[in-house]
Structure 1
């Protein structure tokens, strides 16, 4: 587990350093007269950096340990979604959003393990197979809740989060389902892939499950 924590620490330094350098560079461009072009980029990078740093600060203030892999996937998701996706327009890359759903599937499986640690006194007694099936079910359920959210926002505010329309026209039949079902497939695939790794780790060391738990430091 010490190796896992070292890996996550290196990831943290990389994410924070790259965002901080990018924020300084963007701020300089704003100062020399490119406000309109770079103001939004600066705001998005700052938001991403803040989201990564806040959990680390809270863990120090309230003296608890951040779950190792849960925090890793959280940082990866924020980096790819806000920093690369929004600030640097990676969303224009085909299937970038599906790649993000793969990451979120693994993140949500880890969150399921963390929730289990809060609710179950002795989760280590559960079999690795059950834990992985539970994690996949939890992740896919959260993915469904997210699609409920997108559907509700689209219904009331017509924001097209589910990509049901193109060029101002509603898509017919199967075409209108492609984005939603693609997201759910990616959620399931991401959680399933990470569950294979989780199963292998749990078979070797059942205590690995505790790396997803919030513990006092």
Structure 2
């Protein structure tokens, strides 16, 4: 059931972005059809993983992934919400939290249930925080590279934009990493 829902969700997003891509291409709006084309690729990634691998996905993370794509690609880039000023910072805060949840899911998959009580809550905190902040750094490298190589303007505010984005990513990560550490500490104290 979960697998079918994720296939439908991924397919629907790809079709939505493909329609937008065709529409904006026919109107000659280069930026919008490029964003929509990128949206198609982003929607295909989970679909390909679902169909061609045995990876099991965490449903809340996948729904959050598509909500984030919709908010950043369609609302942010195509409809222009990024001109609100706070939209980009808000999405970076959310992406920091979302990547933290991905880190927690990875942690749970990479460790055995019975050994988790022996792992320090500080290690959980550092793993979740580092994973999430690293994701933010990789994204900023991507933005910088696209601006340099393809003359795009992803870093509209230059260094200031980059630093605000990284601070927002880190803040979202800190919140979730702290919650994960506190839960781990409580579980450790109960055993």
Matches within 5 A, 1:3-18: none
Q: Which structure 1 residue ranges, 5 or more long, are not aligned?
A: 1-5, 166-176, 207-217
Corresponding residue for residue 169 of structure 2: 187
Is residue 111 from structure 1 mapped to residue 102 from structure 2 by the alignment?
yes
Corresponding residue for residue 144 of structure 1: 137
Corresponding residue for residue 163 of structure 1: 156
Q: How high is the TM-score relative to the length of structure 2? A: 0.66
Matches within 5 A, 1:121-132: 122-123=115-116, 125-132=118-125
Q: How far did residue 133 of structure 1 move?
A: 3.2
3-state SS, counterpart of residue 162 of structure 1: coil
Matches within 5 A, 1:36-55: 36=27, 41=32, 44-45=35-36, 47-48=38-39, 51-52=42-43, 54-55=45-46
Q: How far did residue 105 of structure 1 move?
A: 0.5
Give the structure, 1 or 2, with the largest relative contact order (CA under 8 Å, sep 6 or more).
1
- The structure whose residues are more often helix, as a share, is 2
Conservation of the 8 A alpha-carbon contact between 1:136 and 1:191: yes
Conservation of the 8 A alpha-carbon contact between 1:109 and 1:136: yes
Corresponding residue for residue 133 of structure 1: 126
Corresponding residue for residue 74 of structure 1: 65
The higher radius of gyration belongs to 1
Conservation of the 8 A alpha-carbon contact between 2:122 and 2:181: yes
Aligned length: 186
Q: Which structure 2 residue ranges, 5 or more long, are not aligned?
A: none
Q: How far did residue 10 of structure 1 move?
A: 8.4
Q: How far did residue 20 of structure 1 move?
A: 5.3
3-state SS, counterpart of residue 65 of structure 1: coil
Is residue 88 from structure 1 mapped to residue 79 from structure 2 by the alignment?
yes
Q: How far did residue 160 of structure 1 move?
A: 4.8
Give the Cα–Cα distance (whole angstroms) in 1 for the partners of residues 146 and 16 of structure 2.
Answer: 35
Give the Cα–Cα distance (whole angstroms) in 2 for the partners of residues 153 and 64 of structure 1.
Answer: 30
Conservation of the 8 A alpha-carbon contact between 1:116 and 1:123: no
Give the Cα–Cα distance (whole angstroms) in 1 for the partners of residues 15 and 147 of structure 2.
Answer: 34
Give the Cα–Cα distance (whole angstroms) in 1 for the partners of residues 95 and 30 of structure 2.
Answer: 28
Q: How high is the TM-score relative to the length of structure 1? A: 0.59
